């Protein structure tokens, strides 16, 4: 039996970075939105855990136990007391090391696919707990939609009243290491004598919620902010040209996505998305361009909670609407 799960990328509409915690992570406040760029993960019963990866730009993706999807499958198996006998095939469309949490997305998809494969009762708490063990962004990747994340980004408050927004993403020629960007952010703050905010806050959160609920992209564009952008631009100064090209072509807002180097452009509608995408391609500043919309559901949002599973093929509770 095989289970295929489709999982979206994310963009941070707000990324506030605080100080380093005793465990080495930074204190964050983030507004995540899932967007319609998808990887798919297919889990097939097998004698042992293995991974294959297909798609663009996969040379940098480990096809072994270091793959976040494999780690997620192993942790889920351990938690529910089964052998991690599964082959995971990942079809990658989300840019690798692009600040769009592609690895976390694959981990989230693997959790849902393996839970279905191994006949686990739908249990959102168990899925969430395994996700948090794998990495900071995996919990949001499971859920999708739009949410505020605090802590490492794993304490989530979904924002359910949200209009539909249109995005353009400019993919860079080469990925950027997330830890390197955080180190650079700390270095720039130390150099400037600016201490990190004690507990970064989404201020004022009510403005964000109102802008999202209104569905007005101009209102949301005015609130976009990424504390890692300065660091990403210091490491890759050419990203400033990419951001400028999209804004000049009519984007309402532009920012580096997460730790970069993907640049995200918020646009008025699909027509504006096509115009901005064409201008970015013509500028020659990026490797390729994608258009997308958000929010979209993550794979766990489509898992149905069973009240009576007698005689039910449990995999259908996971993949009834979630199959790619
Ligand atoms: P984030 O936005 O969460 O900081 P990112 O989008 O910048 O992450 P990823 O694409 O998740 O970066 O990959 C970061 C690194 O993780 C890659 O360079 C790769 O070595 C490793 N990795 C492990 N598993 C995966 C996976 N399934 N897909 C992509 N990268 C993976």
CA-nearest of 127, 100, 115 to 41 is: 115
- List, in order, residues 6 or more apart from 321 with CB less than 8 Å away: 302
Query: Which residue's CA is the closest to the ligand 1 atom numbered 21?
Result: 61
- List, in order, residues 6 or more apart from 313 with CB less than 8 Å away: none
**Tens-place pLDDT, residues 68-105:** 999 999 999 999 999 999 999 999 999 998 999 999 99
Task: Name the residue of 97, 169, 177 whose CB sits within 8 Å of the most ligand 1 atoms, as the mutation to test its pocket.
Answer: 97
Q: Which residues line ligand 1 (CB under 6 A)?
A: 60-62, 66-69, 90, 96-104, 106, 137, 175, 178, 258-259
Task: Name the residue of 103, 139, 152 whose CB sits within 8 Å of the most ligand 1 atoms, as the mutation to test its pocket.
Answer: 103
Say what the pLDDT of residue 304 is.
61
CA-nearest of 294, 292, 289, 295 to 246 is: 289
User: What global pTM score does this model have?
Assistant: 0.92
Instruction: For residue 135, give the ligand 1 atom closest to its CA.
Output: 3
Do 209 and 163 contact (CB within 8 A), yes or no? Answer: no
Say what the pLDDT of residue 321 is.
42
Do 54 and 42 contact (CB within 8 A), yes or no? Answer: no
Rounded to whole angstroms, the Cα distance separating 139 from 134 reads: 9
Query: Which residue's CA is the closest to the ligand 1 atom numbered 27?
Result: 103
CA of 177 to the centre of ligand 1 (A): 9
CA of 164 to the centre of ligand 1 (A): 27
CA of 96 to the centre of ligand 1 (A): 6
Query: Which residue's CA is the closest to the ligand 1 atom numbered 9?
Result: 97
Query: Which residue's CA is the closest to the ligand 1 atom numbered 11?
Result: 103
**Tens-place pLDDT, residues 245-289:** 999 999 999 999 999 999 999 999 999 999 999 999 999 989 999
Rounded to whole angstroms, the Cα distance separating 140 from 146 reads: 9
Query: Which residue's CA is the closest to the ligand 1 atom numbered 24?
Result: 67
Say what the pLDDT of residue 202 is.
76
Say what the pLDDT of residue 324 is.
37
Spans in the chain with pLDDT lower than 70:
304-324
Tokens in use for 248? 């000049």
**Active site residues per annotation:** 10, 137
- List, in order, residues 6 or more apart from 324 with CB less than 8 Å away: 4, 5, 6, 38, 40
CA of 103 to the centre of ligand 1 (A): 4
Task: Name the residue of 88, 102, 185, 255 whose CB sits within 8 Å of the most ligand 1 atoms, as the mutation to test its pocket.
Answer: 102
């Amino acid at each position: 039996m095989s289970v295929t799960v489709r999982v979206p990328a994310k963009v941070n509409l707000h990324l506030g970075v605080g100080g380093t915690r005793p465990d080495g992570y930074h204190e964050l406040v983030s507004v995540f939105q899932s967007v319609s760029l998808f990887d798919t993960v297919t889990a097939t019963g097998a004698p042992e855990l293995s991974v294959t990866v297909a798609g663009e730009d996969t040379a940098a993706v480990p096809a072994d136990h270091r793959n976040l999807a494999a780690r997620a499958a192993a942790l889920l198996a351990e938690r529910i007391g089964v052998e991690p006998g599964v082959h995971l095939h990942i079809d990658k469309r989300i840019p690798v090391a692009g600040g769009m949490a592609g690895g976390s997305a694959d981990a989230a998809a693997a959790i849902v696919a393996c839970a279905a494969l191994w006949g686990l009762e739908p249990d959102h708490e168990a899925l969430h707990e395994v996700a948090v063990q794998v990495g900071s962004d995996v919990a949001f990747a499971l859920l999708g939609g739009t949410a505020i994340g605090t802590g490492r980004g794993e304490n989530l408050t979904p924002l359910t009243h949200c209009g539909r927004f249109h995005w353009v993403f400019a993919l860079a020629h080469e990925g950027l290491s997330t830890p390197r960007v955080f180190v650079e952010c700390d270095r720039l703050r130390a150099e400037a004598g600016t201490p990190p905010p004690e507990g970064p806050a989404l201020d004022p959160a009510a403005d964000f919620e109102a802008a999202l609920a209104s569905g007005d992209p101009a209102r949301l564009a005015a609130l976009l902010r990424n504390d890692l952008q300065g660091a990403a631009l210091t490491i890759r100064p050419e990203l400033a040209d990419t951001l400028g090209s999209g804004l000049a072509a009519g984007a309402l807002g532009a920012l580096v996505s997460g730790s970069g180097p993907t640049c995200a452009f918020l646009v008025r509608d699909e027509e504006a998305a096509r115009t901005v995408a064409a201008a970015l391609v013509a500028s020659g500043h990026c490797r390729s361009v994608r258009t997308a919309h958000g929010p979209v559901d993550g794979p766990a949002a489509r898992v149905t909670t069973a009240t009576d599973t007698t005689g039910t093929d449990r995999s259908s509770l996971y993949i009834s609407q979630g199959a790619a």
